[in-house]
Amino acid sequence: MMFVNFRRIRKCQCVQLMTTCLVLSVVMLFWEQLDNNRVVTHVKSYSYRYLVNSFTFINKSFIIPREEARSFSNFHYLLDHPDKCANQDVLLLLFVKTSPENTERRKAIRSTWGNETYIQNTLSVTVKVVFALGAPHAKPAEEEHLQKELFLEDRLHGDLIQQDFTDSFHNLTLKLILQFHWAHNRCAHAHFLMTADDDIFVHMPNLVSYLQDVARRGVTDFWIGRVHRGAPPIRRKDSKYFVPYEMYSWSSYPDYTAGAGYVVSRDVVDKIYQATLALNASIYIDDVFMGICANAMRVSPQDHVFFSGEGKAPYHPCIYDQMMTSHGHIEDIYDLWREATHPQVKQRTSGLIGRLYCTAVKLTLLCKPYYFNTYPCKAAFL
Ligand SMILES: *[C@@H]1O[C@H](CO)[C@@H](O)[C@H](O)[C@H]1NC(C)=O
Ligand SMILES: *[C@@H]1O[C@H](CO)[C@@H](O)[C@H](O)[C@H]1NC(C)=O
Ligand SMILES: *[C@@H]1O[C@H](CO)[C@@H](O)[C@H](O)[C@H]1NC(C)=O
């Protein structure tokens, strides 16, 4: 009797052990799965971000001799407009990051949200919209053809700022440096600098009135957009954003704004310019490098709920009334521009009834229980 019991217990323990093993391996499997979804990495980097907080190592490890830092900025201008901002009170210098072949996108921007004449006439402010690009990268004959097209396009519109580095994803940081150097050398008196992707939509009237208000308050150290806090470097080699340990060895990046669209004040332009004269710019993710420069100069980004980052805004007048930027617009840009700036938007969204209606609409559009990459839920209450 005793013996049987003992054996049964041992059998039980064995089953228990096996079950535990099984559960553990399933958990491990899921853990792997989770890590593939970068949950674990994010928890790690987030804790790191709030434990370390100051990121003082940035200053030490990225400073290089000035002559070496210059190698990231001493490219020749193939196209330039030194007098673009001269003798004008420029509220905003807006740099669109583009590539030689994206002719249609530039055309769409010029005739919608980036139309300087329209902005001047209807909003009574000067906004300069210019395009930052590198040299075409293709077969030699094709390259020559593309560059000729660019010369023609620029003769027509006078808004291309081009340097002779290869225009490629891994040279985006050079494009960032181009923008800050050009802004510093040619347009330092502009109140604000914005940098934007060529597939975003900017609600120019909303942005202009917001920036006019910021300028009136004399705000400095201003850097606004969709903030990434405690973002982890991506270590999977198959990712577009892969960064090796030799390039950045810590678990988390300093805070930065999504490169799709952000705005800085002119004092920040000067600080970032100074940082680019001293820092190692070989990290090729441009918005991360911006975060590194800003951290070295003690500038922190602020979040604005209506800057969408990589997200796309829902189509609705209640959203148009407050939106600043929205990402991923190419074909729909003409329609969106017409609808978002229609006078009826203001009529439908103003007054007590309009505001209540819009709160309800935004709650249903933005506060979904599952993840939906757009403005955050709290935007519904503004
Ligand atoms: C820009 O706006 C002006 C004035 O509203 C208009 O006359 C002009 O055609 C527009 N430019 C383009 C490229 O659409
Ligand atoms: C970046 O541009 C430089 C200068 O044109 C070029 O030598 C280099 O190959 C480019 N890098 C990439 C990754 O395209
Ligand atoms: C800049 O950083 C890269 C690694 O990201 C490194 O290989 C290179 O030597 C550094 N440059 C200088 C001048 O220290």
Residues 103 and 221 grouped into a single domain = yes
**d(CA 166, ligand 2 centre) in Å:** 5
Q: How far apart are CA 234 and CA 226, in angstroms?
A: 19
Q: Distance of CA 51 to CAs 47, 144, 234, 303, 369, Å?
A: 6, 52, 20, 21, 30
**d(CA 62, ligand 3 centre) in Å:** 8
Residues 210 and 104 grouped into a single domain = yes
Residue ranges making up the domain that contains 335: 317-381
Q: Whose CA is nearest to atom 10 of ligand 3?
A: 280
**Residues flanking ligand 3, CB < 6 Å:** 64, 68, 246-247, 280, 282
Residues 73 and 211 grouped into a single domain = yes
Residue 151 lies inside a defined structural domain of this protein: yes
Q: Which of 71, 242, 282 to mutate to test the pocket of ligand 3 (most atoms within 8 A of CB)?
A: 282
**d(CA 95, ligand 2 centre) in Å:** 21
Q: Whose CA is nearest to atom 9 of ligand 1?
A: 111
Structural domains in the chain (count): 2
Q: Distance of CA 141 to CAs 102, 105, 137, 144, 210, Å?
A: 18, 23, 11, 5, 46
Q: How far apart are CA 179 and CA 174, in angstroms?
A: 9
Residue 155 lies inside a defined structural domain of this protein: yes
Q: What is the DSSP letter of 263?
A: E
Q: How far apart are CA 368 and CA 356, in angstroms?
A: 19
Residues 271 and 344 grouped into a single domain = no
Q: Write down which residue in 248, 270, 303 finishes a domain.
A: 303
- Per-residue pLDDT at 1: 42
Q: Whose CA is nearest to atom 9 of ligand 2?
A: 166
Residues 345 and 256 grouped into a single domain = no
Residues 183 and 242 grouped into a single domain = yes
Q: Whose CA is nearest to atom 5 of ligand 2?
A: 165
Return the beta strands (E) in the chain as ranges.
Answer: 77-79, 90-97, 126-135, 160-166, 192-197, 200-202, 223-225, 227-228, 256-257, 261-265, 302-303, 325-327
Q: Whose CA is nearest to atom 8 of ligand 2?
A: 166
**d(CA 337, ligand 1 centre) in Å:** 13
pLDDT per residue of the chain (382 residues) written in tens, 0 to 9: 445 455 555 555 666 766 665 665 555 555 545 555 567 888 888 888 888 878 888 888 999 999 999 999 999 999 999 999 999 999 999 999 999 999 999 999 999 999 999 999 999 999 999 999 999 999 989 999 999 999 999 999 999 999 999 999 999 999 999 999 999 999 999 999 999 999 999 999 999 999 999 999 999 999 999 999 999 999 989 999 999 999 999 999 999 999 999 999 999 999 999 999 999 999 999 999 999 999 999 999 999 999 999 999 999 999 999 999 999 999 999 999 999 999 999 888 999 999 999 999 999 999 988 878 999 999 999 8
Q: Which of 106, 107, 117, 157 to mutate to test the pocket of ligand 1 (most atoms within 8 A of CB)?
A: 117
Residue 22 lies inside a defined structural domain of this protein: no
Q: Give the chain's mean pLDDT.
A: 91
Structure tokens at 348: 């439908």
Residues 218 and 352 grouped into a single domain = no
Say which CATH number the domain at 231 has: 3.90.550
Residues 154 and 187 grouped into a single domain = yes
Closest CA to 82 of 183, 150, 164, 177: 183
Residue 5 lies inside a defined structural domain of this protein: no
Residues 125 and 203 grouped into a single domain = yes
Q: Write down which residue in 255, 277, 303 finishes a domain.
A: 303
Q: Which of 60, 61, 63, 64 to mutate to test the pocket of ligand 3 (most atoms within 8 A of CB)?
A: 64
Q: Write down which residue in 303, 328, 349 finishes a domain.
A: 303
Please name which ligand lies nearest the alpha carbon of 113: 1
**d(CA 237, ligand 2 centre) in Å:** 20
Q: Whose CA is nearest to atom 4 of ligand 3?
A: 247
Closest CA to 340 of 317, 357, 358, 322: 317
Residue 19 lies inside a defined structural domain of this protein: no
